[in-house]
Chains A and B, each alone.
Chain A
């Protein structure tokens, strides 16, 4: 898809700038120019496409569909809805309480709360751009699995008493919310959203690619394989722990991970890292703390973290 750009950027760097092909500086500059433009293009395209599709869904609709669903099939549905529904962790409280009001079991709500941030558009765009569609599909697939099983386990623990705000379940069924929008309006909305996100993350991407380019040009692969842990047992848990405080910088960290994997870091560790970045977000935990007991949040983090660990080891073993 980007061969033309690979050639054009190589021509620019090696013929126009006169940098020597194969030299550390030449390779680093070529990598930087090639990767920055490629990631920017894919980010804009994918975020626009995803946010356009998502104008057709909202959490109010999801609540109508999930109402009255039994456990397990409800967990699967909730995790799937997490892919296509726009979700901001700032809405975690009304979502949680609103689902409870509609008598949706807590485990199903958690399946949604795990899946929605995991499948955020930035993560998907970065993965697709850097690792291709196969790895992206694996990420989404295993993310769904963690969301379904994790939500199911949390549901089975019967911890409803740890919700700190009394919720009166509503009687009767919900009506679907009707919001009619013209395709043009949806496109405009998606475009505005894409622009907002791009402005928020483009500097992080630039920095990430910059550091990545330096490693690409100057640091030999043996060094990474020896020190950044190829198959060391602690690579996956380390990736998860490092991922938790990185919630806002996923866009900047991913180019680094790409370089590290191309130089010998195992892909399972990389995927675990990405999942920890998106699914285990400290700000979301802080928001939920206002309505949930710490024990329940700890269980949520514990179950999801454990799921991510398993996925990481599994990947390292089979890929």
Chain B
């Protein structure tokens, strides 16, 4: 599984990255987590608000800082 966190480096984006790491550890799944900070790459996903959470190329949330528990429910 590949998880991408889209965001240009705002505080919320960093928090979402940390929460995602926590969620993956709590659930014990194997996943590659990547921060995408390049604005041109972010635009390719069609989101207009950050931070956004992308799992295997699919945008699951945008403009929200999800908690680790909420992220666990997404995958």
Which A residues fall within an 8 A CB radius of B? 58-60, 62-63, 86-88, 90-91, 93-95, 97-99, 101, 165, 167, 174, 177, 179, 189, 291
B49-A58 in contact (CB<8A): yes
Contact B48 A94, beta carbon cutoff 8 Å? yes
Interface of B toward A, CB cutoff 8 Å = 8, 10-12, 39-40, 42-43, 46-50, 59, 61-64
Q: CA–CA, A94 to B39, complex, Å?
A: 7
Give Cα distance in the complex from A63 to B62, angstroms: 14
**Best-buried of B11, B40, B46, B61 by chain A (most CB within 10 Å):** B46
> Is B48 in contact with A91, judged by CB distance below 8 angstroms?
yes
Q: Are A60 and B46 in contact (CB-based, < 8 A)?
A: yes
Q: When the two chains form the complex, which single residue of A58, A99, A165 contacts B63, counting CB atoms closer than 8 Å?
A: A58
With A88-B12, A94-B50, A97-B39 already in contact, 11 other A-B pairs whose C-beta atoms are closer than 8 Å: A59-B48, A59-B49, A60-B49, A90-B8, A90-B11, A91-B63, A94-B39, A94-B42, A94-B47, A98-B43, A177-B62
The interface residues of chain B lying within 8 Å CB-to-CB of A98 are: 43, 46-48
How long is the Cα–Cα vector from A59 to B62 in the complex, in angstroms?
9
Kindly state the separation between the CA atoms of A291 and B38 in the bound complex, as whole angstroms: 13
Q: Are A90 and B50 in contact (CB under 8 A)?
A: yes
Determine chain A's interface SS by DSSP, over half rule: helix
Q: Which residues of A contact B42 (CB under 8 A)?
A: 94
CA distance A101 to B40 in the complex (A): 11
CB distance from B12 to the nearest CB of A (A): 7
Q: B43 — which chain A residues lie within 8 A by C-beta? A: 94, 97-98, 101, 167
Measured in the bound complex, the distance between the Cα atoms of B8 and A181 in whole Å is 26
Which among A94, A99, A167 has the highest number of chain B CB atoms within 10 Å?
A94
Contact B48 A88 (CB under 8 A): no
Asked whether B49 lies within 8 Å of A94 as measured between CB atoms, the reply is yes
Contact residues in B for A91 (Cβ distance below 8 Å): 48-50, 63
How long is the Cα–Cα vector from A179 to B59 in the complex, in angstroms? Answer: 10
CB<8 Å pairs between A and B, sample of 22: A60-B46, A60-B47, A60-B48, A60-B62, A62-B48, A63-B48, A88-B12, A88-B63, A90-B10, A90-B11, A90-B50, A94-B47, A94-B48, A94-B50, A95-B49, A97-B39, A97-B43, A98-B48, A165-B39, A167-B43, A174-B46, A177-B59
A87–B48 Cα distance when bound, in Å, is: 10
Give every chain A residue within 8 A of B12 (Cβ-Cβ): 88, 90
Q: When chains A and B are docked, how far (Å) is the Cα of A99 from the Cα of B47?
A: 10
Q: Are A179 and B61 also in contact (CB < 8 A) when A93-B39, A94-B39 are?
A: yes
